[in-house]
Structure 1
Amino acid sequence: MATREKRSEVWKHFTTSQEDDSKAICLYCGAVISRGGSCRSSYTTTNMLHHVKTRHPQQFAFAESTSQACSTEREHSVAGPSQKKVKVSLLQPTLQDVVEKKLLYNSNDPRAQEFTTLIAEMICVDMQPYDIVNNDGFGRLMSKAVPRYNIPSRKHMADTVIPKMYEKVKNKVRERLSNLDNVAVTTDLWTSEASSQMNDFISVTAHGAELSQKVHFCLEVLPFDGDLHTAVNIADNLLHIFEDWEIGYKVCAVVTDNASNMKCAVRDHLKLPNIPCLAHSVQLVLKDGLLNQRPVRELLAAFRSIVGHFSHSTAAKKILVDAQKKVNEPQHVLIQDIATRWDSTLHMLRRLVEQRLSITVALQNCSKFRCQITAENWLLAEQLVDLLTYFEDVTKTVSSEKASVADAIPLVNSLNHMLEMKIMEVKAVKDATKSFATDLKHSLGSRLGEL
């Protein structure tokens, strides 16, 4: 009598007992499982399926996913003029298989846990809000991609999944920090006004050399513990973080901004070398120069009023767009600078110089707004853009992931050399630029002269 072909997927996990045809042997643990009947016609796979799902869920999940991705198909030629090929599946799903495909994964199912982990990683890596799991679009995507997966709640992700992931990553980072001989630290302190109540935060990033490669770890971004930003409170916060990450005895230097409380906390209370942030020092140098020169201050004030006019008036916006079309300049919006960000002043000037013709035409059609920008004003703006671009390049260099303290000396000296060259360019139209460059050079020497 011919042996009937075993078409159930469960036989990937079992083999028939040689001694008793009514028994099946598990390929993983050797357990003997009844086939559920006394004769061949009454055999079922229910007992075997239950065993492999409860005792070997990982193997079952892997086998099922593999069979879905790579189902074996057989091609038969059908007689006829066109000789079409028809694909016939070798695997015929059982009624139980069909029913199970409609059921949602249990939360302990390895497949469900894998998707939950991937969602948590997406939230962390892409800085997504926890509430993304409640978004309709995300829900539709997941129901189409994985119909049997039940998306966890926001509370479960925030209270359970991501905290576990954080502890796992933290232990790995702590292990790598333990292999470093020395650790340099960068820290910053700021106040966030994003919510109704202002919140203070402190951040700590660790830097070191691992197998001749530079490594960086963002250790903490924590609410600041203390009502005032005193040197003592700052030192206490940093010391607590150092102890938590077990790096207190390895810290060789701390990079901070130029605030006196930060310097005092590191030098006087922690007794550690303090390195001022080069990007912040460059910011202060430019602030000195922008404030000292009256022609520059007046020019920036006039340009800010122009940007404000074309940004806040709908009618003025339309006039500017029409002017841009008329003179064939890009239809870019004007940029308003921010007092605390010198690079935003550069971006404002650069955009204004780009839109010079459009602004000139638009101002002629704005009867209610009077602001005269002379040819010398535009020339000064161009020269300022040229000068500030060097500082922008330095800021970008020291802000990159590959930046190090070793970059400071060549960058500062290149800036100093550039300013000397600008000062030597003696032309009547460049008097304001020359004075501005002189002030920048003097400030650079006073703040970073030791470099």
Structure 2
Amino acid sequence: MSAVWQYFSVKSENDSVAHCNPCHAQVSRGGTEPGKFNTSNLIAHLKQHHKTLHEDFRKTTELKKQSSGNFKQPTLPETLAKRDKFPRDSKKALTLTEKICQFIVLDDQPLSVVSNTGFKRLIEHLEPRYVMPSRHYIVDKTIPQMHKEVKECIAMHLDKASALSFTTDIWSSENCPLSLLSLTAHWIDADFTLQRAVLHAREFRGSHTANAITNAMEEMLRDWKVDKKKVHVVLRDNAANMRKGLDQLNVPSLGCFAHSLHLVVREGLLSQRAVSDALANGRKIVGHFKHSPKAYSSLEDLQIELNVTPKRLQQDVQTRWNSTKYMIDSLIHQKRPLQAYSSEENNSLPAILTANQWALLEKTSKVLAPFEELTDTVSATSATTADVIPSVHVLIQNRGGRKFLPNITPQQPDITKWF
């Protein structure tokens, strides 16, 4: 809309006469039909009778033209150039390819996304002149170049750091015969800000012996040109092979507190016969509904009928004690529907929980609650020893001293050494 209309008004869009707001004059809009209306007479009226307002109008119009750019009619060569595709090695194409690669890497997208029809249509709509590279081009060209640049940047920061700490672990897949050895660096920069970077997640083949761990860690530190004298500490799990491997590497190391806490809870509480029996029955119940859609549908109907929020029962994982707590909590939440389910004639469960076992699970959940909170605290990516020591003190003092901690034997991790 023209800026001149801030000085004029009309009774309706079909009105052929505009009303001048400053002098109340009636000015023709240049025609008798809406299709022939224009603003020429209005601008001329401002120029003749309101010179100051006309000057303001002219400046406003100029500013609008400058902000909107120059919309001159493109030439034929310019129009044809817009239809040509970018060369793959052009600056624009390389920039777009790099951004797509960053999208894949940062958001954990599959490499096949560059072949997906919907994604290709989106990119084509945003930039029709861009040719989507193939998956092989991303793997062979773009990602290696990006890896090189990121590695050089991290290496520069590691070189500037006066001391480095590391965390390491061995991960084994349950779905395929694959093990990974990870190494993450932690340091404080010049602004006293905690920084971290995952340096390696390499395949760890063969037996996980102490010598193999020593050789792999030696190779990773050498690859990043990290002097062992700069290693402040390496945080590891409490496995004997990992402990011995790092001792042979001749670098200081400490057992992971979260892993120590896992062993304490697992061996001190969950291994007790009464608790383990109740958990075994609970696992059978969860497994029954996990593998029978018909049984789960019946349980879901009972949940709705009893006004219990429908939720799936959670199966625990033996290597994570907190998953056992989640399973206990899910069973307790569904206690009434489970009891109603087992009381019906056509339904049967592979195991039942007695009244004593239900009470025991409820008490177990309460005992595990502060340990779960502590585990979440020390497992955060920004957690430090400063989070561990006071948390353990609070756990002991607020829970009746050491009565919630198991009797510590030489084979069990001694968490009291932390405080």
TM-score under structure 1 normalisation? Answer: 0.74
Choose which of 133, 150, 170 in structure 1 pairs with 2:114.
133
Q: Distance in 2 between matches of 1:444 and 1:406?
A: 26
Cα deviations by residue, 1:347-398 (Å, 9 ceiling, x for unpaired): 1111111122121212212533364433333222222112111111111111
Q: Distance in 1 between matches of 2:280 and 2:30?
A: 86
- How does 1:288-307 map onto structure 2 within 5 Å? 288-307=267-286
Letter in 1 for 2:131: N
- How does 1:4-403 map onto structure 2 within 5 Å? 79=30, 90-195=71-176, 198-210=177-189, 211-224=191-204, 227-248=206-227, 249-267=229-247, 269-365=248-344, 366-369=346-349, 371-403=351-383
Give the structure 1 partner of residue 406 of structure 2.
439
Q: Kindly tell me: are residues 152 and 450 of structure 1, through their superposed partners in 2, closer, same or farther at Cα, counting changes over 3 Å?
A: same
DSSP 3-state at the match of 1:189? strand
Letter in 2 for 1:253: V
Q: Kindly tell me: are residues 292 and 348 of structure 1, through their superposed partners in 2, closer, same or farther at Cα, counting changes over 3 Å?
A: closer
Q: Kindly tell me: are residues 201 and 446 of structure 1, through their superposed partners in 2, closer, same or farther at Cα, counting changes over 3 Å?
A: closer
Cα drift, residue 184 of structure 1: 0.6
Letter in 2 for 1:338: V
Structure 1 stretches of at least 4 aligned residues deviating more than 4 Å after TM superposition: 73-85, 440-446
1:450 matches 2:417? yes
* Contact in 2 for aligned 1:285/1:444 (Cα 8 Å): no
* Contact in 1 for aligned 2:408/2:414 (Cα 8 Å): no
Q: Which moved more, 1:358-367 or 1:166-175?
A: 358-367
Cα drift, residue 171 of structure 1: 0.7
* Contact in 2 for aligned 1:183/1:252 (Cα 8 Å): yes
DSSP 3-state at the match of 1:450? helix
1:416 matches 2:396? yes
Cα drift, residue 414 of structure 1: 2.8
Gaps of 5+ in 2: 6-28, 40-64
Q: Distance in 2 between matches of 1:171 and 1:332?
A: 48
* Contact in 2 for aligned 1:257/1:277 (Cα 8 Å): yes
DSSP 3-state at the match of 1:220? strand
DSSP 3-state at the match of 1:409? helix
Cα deviations by residue, 1:84-130 (Å, 9 ceiling, x for unpaired): 89x99841122222222222111122221111110111111112222
Percent identity of the aligned residues? 33
* Contact in 2 for aligned 1:292/1:439 (Cα 8 Å): no
Cα deviations by residue, 1:302-357 (Å, 9 ceiling, x for unpaired): 11111111221222112101100111111111111111111111111111111221
Q: Kindly tell me: are residues 90 and 263 of structure 1, through their superposed partners in 2, closer, same or farther at Cα, counting changes over 3 Å?
A: closer
Q: Which moved more, 1:135-144 or 1:148-157?
A: 135-144
* Contact in 2 for aligned 1:256/1:277 (Cα 8 Å): yes
Cα deviations by residue, 1:28-84 (Å, 9 ceiling, x for unpaired): xxxxxxxxxxxxxxxxxxxxxxxxxxxxxxxxxxxxxxxxxxxxx988998456558
Q: Kindly tell me: are residues 412 and 100 of structure 1, through their superposed partners in 2, closer, same or farther at Cα, counting changes over 3 Å?
A: same
Q: Distance in 2 between matches of 1:288 and 1:190?
A: 22
Q: Distance in 2 between matches of 1:165 and 1:370?
A: 54
Q: Kindly tell me: are residues 342 and 439 of structure 1, through their superposed partners in 2, closer, same or farther at Cα, counting changes over 3 Å?
A: same
Q: Kindly tell me: are residues 79 and 203 of structure 1, through their superposed partners in 2, closer, same or farther at Cα, counting changes over 3 Å?
A: farther
* Contact in 2 for aligned 1:288/1:443 (Cα 8 Å): no
Q: Kindly tell me: are residues 387 and 315 of structure 1, through their superposed partners in 2, closer, same or farther at Cα, counting changes over 3 Å?
A: same
Letter in 1 for 2:132: I
TM-score under structure 2 normalisation? Answer: 0.79
Q: Distance in 2 between matches of 1:284 and 1:99?
A: 70
Q: Kindly tell me: are residues 133 and 416 of structure 1, through their superposed partners in 2, closer, same or farther at Cα, counting changes over 3 Å?
A: same
